[in-house]
Amino acid sequence: MAAATPPRAHVAERLITGTIGATWILWITGGLYFAGPVLGWALALLAVRAWYYAPALPAAERPGQLPPAIWAWLIGMAAMLVILFIGHTQFHLGTGQTIKSAVGWAKGWALLALFPLAGFALPIRVEALSRAVCRLSLQTLILLPLFLAAPFVGLPQKLWVSPLAVLGGSGNEYFAAILYTIEPGVGTARWQFFAPWSPAAGMVAVIHFLLARMEPDAKWRWTGYAASLLVALLSQSRLALIALAVIVPLAWLAGKVRQPVLWFCAAGLVLMGSWFSPQLRALVDQMTSDFSSARADSSRVRAALGRIAVQRWQSEAYWFGHGIVERGPHMVEYMPIGSHHTWFGLLFVKGLAGAIALAVPMVWTLAATFRAAMDSKVGQLGFAMALTYWLYSFGENLEVLTYIAWPALLAIGVALRPSPELRSAAPDAAPAAG
């Protein structure tokens, strides 16, 4: 008897796996910065098309009603654009700057809503997403000897900056092919791979590790694990190592929350924690101190950027922010005010209104994916990705990294789909009225 032919992948799935597979080519040519936004808007158009043609589509391809978490992202990110216009008007930034910032919104904040929308609405399989990431991991392992040897054989740190940089972007780092960097004050090599800087590579490593856990084939799964762990270690990202140590167990525990044995164990741990609370508090304080002193200059600059952002937000632009980022003083090495921290950056650029516009969908998504995590491994994946975004919001500006971190947002959208049983019991789906 002939083996069953696997179903043909949906066009959205082919676009996603093709983009992931071409990551290194896009990186060397400078096209990676544009690939994520183009993909996000293309998938959003496919999602709208799916709702429009829903009655004519096969049952498995009909999108369901949008859950509140997705609506929260759509409304929140649309509010970001309105807040942008208000901030630019208040500070008289001009039409040219407003257009530039609106394009930046389309390449950043908007994608935080579009990718979860596409993950929910389109028939994208988590297995295809995880396999694509594991194939990319194999490419990374093949290229790894070149990156590791580069600082020792005299290869330049920066190969080149793509001419595509003239098309726009926050800086040349998004279009530069960089083999390695030298850590200031230490003199050791540090790698960022296809990310714009090393901590961003750590964030991608965490996302790819979580996706590799969903790969059913052991060889591909361990390929994904190996590449992700090596990238996290070689990027020397402290936050990536903490994320891997914390998020994986929390996602696993979320899947066991309905089991009584977990609560009995938790009660025992709480009791023991109460006995040793002074020692635990001292341990946490020591770990925090070690975390900051591991890269003291970086921690100092981050703290100063945060203080400046909060002070100027409170005194100059409380509700809608300054509209754009500003270059910081010498004491923070002229880095943009509010960088290295999503919330400080939001308060400075978009004020309290912008912070609320992000906080509401993030809280809603965390709650929704936690509920989904109780029911399935895909739900646990979505919860893990939501936790990743929460954790990295305190160490990175999320919107500028969406062009490489978008697989996490897709996974969140997939996790928010209703179970097959609920979908089969529901009437023909159409978008919920807004």
DSSP of 150-164, one letter per residue?
GGGTT--SEEEE-GG
Identify whether 363 is part of a domain.
Answer: yes
When divided into structural domains, the chain yields a total of 1
Note whether residue 422 is domain-resident: no
Three-state DSSP class for 189?
A: strand
306 Cα distance to chain centroid: 21
In a domain, 242, yes or no: yes
Q: Exposed, middle or buried by CB within 10 Å (0-12, 13-18, 19+), for 138?
A: middle
Classify residue 425: in a domain, yes or no.
no
Burial of 352 (0-12, 13-18, 19+ CB in 10 A): middle
Rg (CA), the chain: 22
Q: For residue 2, what pLDDT is reported?
A: 42
pLDDT at 432: 38
Residue 419 lies in a domain: no
What is the DSSP code (8-state) at residue 4? P
Query: What are residue 327's DSSP bridge partners?
Result: 336
For residues 318 and 104, what is the distance between their CA atoms, to the nearest angstrom?
Answer: 22
Q: How many CA atoms lie within 13 A of 415 on its CB side?
A: 32
Residue 272 lies in a domain: yes
User: Distances in Å between the alpha carbon of 88 and those of 309, 343, 422?
Assistant: 18, 19, 45
Reference 30, options 165, 220, 217; nearest CA is 165
Is 152 part of any domain?
yes
Return the closest-CA partner of residue 73 out of 32, 120, 27, 26: 120
The one-character DSSP state at 398 is: G
Q: What is the pLDDT along the chain (434 residues), one digit of tens a residue?
A: 344 445 567 899 999 999 999 999 999 999 999 999 999 999 999 999 998 888 877 777 788 889 999 999 999 999 999 999 999 999 889 898 999 999 999 999 999 999 999 999 999 999 999 999 999 999 999 999 999 999 999 899 999 999 988 887 678 889 999 999 988 777 789 999 999 999 999 999 999 999 999 999 999 999 999 999 999 999 998 899 999 999 999 998 888 777 665 555 655 555 555 555 565 466 455 555 554 555 555 667 777 777 888 888 888 888 988 888 877 666 666 677 767 678 888 998 899 999 999 999 999 999 999 999 999 999 999 999 999 999 999 888 899 999 999 999 999 999 999 865 344 334 443 333 33
Is the whole-model pTM more than 0.85?
A: yes
Q: Domain residues for 374?
A: 11-55+63-285+301-412
427 found inside a domain = no
